Amino acid sequence: MSASIERPSRHKRIVRQTTTELVLAALRDRILSGEAAPGSPLRQESLADELGVSRIPVREALRLLSAEGLVDTIAHHGAFVSMISKAEVQEFFDIRKRLEPWIFCEAIPNLSEVELKRAEQLVDLMDTVEPERWGSLNWELHETLYRAAGRPAALSVVRTLHEKSERYFRFQIVNVPIRKQAHHEHVALIELCRSGEVDRAAIMLEQHIQGAACQILAIVERILDSNARQ
């Protein structure tokens, strides 16, 4: 008698997004893409009419965007797209330079070849995606290289910094030479992990973060100067 083979079910659970999640994604993309300019008002009634929803999911989405640092809510005046700030960029990257090399050093001895292969796949994928996806893939790459440190609290802090920095990555990554530079640096970091060169990897990561900070600060300064002349 032949043994019966249990086939995996073809039925997959369908996960539907809530109205608030859809509104949140739409508004976040407008802000990160620059379509909703820094300082521009976000009127609940107009957004509800435009998106075809009630004001309740719009209000909740704006609250969540405020928690992400993308929206400022001013009493009796409403919600506005948060202004971009050189000081904010500098602070984000100063913290990253101090925290990420330490996590990286902790992770490198524990990284598996499976994780390094996944990191390489992400680097290749980042070469072809649209700018709006680059920031999230960049975080996935760094998370893949840091997770083996076993420092969940520190990783959570770094994740928050990457999320808050995503709007600035959008300014940076449309530049093709910058994307190529990021590719080469990411590949080099992975190779240093593979060869176990912890000290060199930490130094290179700090330089990688500093380079990104300089590029983004230069772009933000140009945007601020352009806005000031208008």
Q: What is the pLDDT of residues 74-127, one digit of tens each?
A: 988 999 998 888 898 899 999 999 999 999 999 999 999 999 999 999 999 998
Residue 225, φ and ψ in degrees, nearest 5: -65, -40
- Does the pLDDT value for residue 7 go beyond 50? no
Cα distances from 173 to residues 2, 5, 226, in angstroms, run 57, 49, 19
Exposed / middle / buried, residue 75 (Cβ in 10 Å: 0-12, 13-18, 19+): exposed
pTM: 0.73
Q: Cβ(169)–Cβ(134) under 8 Å?
A: yes
> Which pLDDT does position 176 carry in this prediction?
65
- Does the pLDDT value for residue 68 go beyond 70? yes
Q: What is the DSSP string of 132-182?
A: HHHHHHHHHHHHHHHGGG--HHHHHHHHHHHHHHHHHHHHHHTSHHHHHHH
- Does the pLDDT value for residue 12 go beyond 90? no
> Which pLDDT does position 8 carry in this prediction?
43
b vs e for 196-211, b when ≥16 Cβ sit within 10 Å of the residue's Cβ?
eebeebbebbbebbee
> Which pLDDT does position 108 carry in this prediction?
98
Longest dimension (CA), the chain: 83
* Assigned token pair, 11: 């039925």
Residue type, 177: P
Q: Where are the domains of the chain?
A: 19-81, 86-228
CATH topology of domain 19-81: Arc Repressor Mutant, subunit A (1.10.10)
CATH topology of domain 86-228: Four Helix Bundle (Hemerythrin (Met), subunit A) (1.20.120)
Most confident of 16-30, 52-66, 209-223: 52-66
- Does the pLDDT value for residue 2 go beyond 70? no
> Which pLDDT does position 149 carry in this prediction?
98
> Which pLDDT does position 175 carry in this prediction?
63
Q: What is the average per-residue pLDDT within 8-19?
A: 58
Residues in the chain: 230
Distance CA 142, CA 121 (A): 13
* Assigned token pair, 78: 């409403």
> Which pLDDT does position 179 carry in this prediction?
83
Cα distances from 145 to residues 109, 140, 154, 228, in angstroms, run 11, 9, 14, 40
Q: Identify the DSSP state of 74.
A: E
> Which pLDDT does position 172 carry in this prediction?
63
> Which pLDDT does position 29 carry in this prediction?
82
Q: What is the pLDDT of residues 163-210, one digit of tens each?
A: 877 777 776 665 667 788 999 999 999 999 999 999 999 999 999 999
Distance CA 129, CA 145 (A): 20
Q: What is the pLDDT of residues 27-65, one digit of tens each?
A: 988 887 778 888 899 999 999 999 999 999 999 999 999
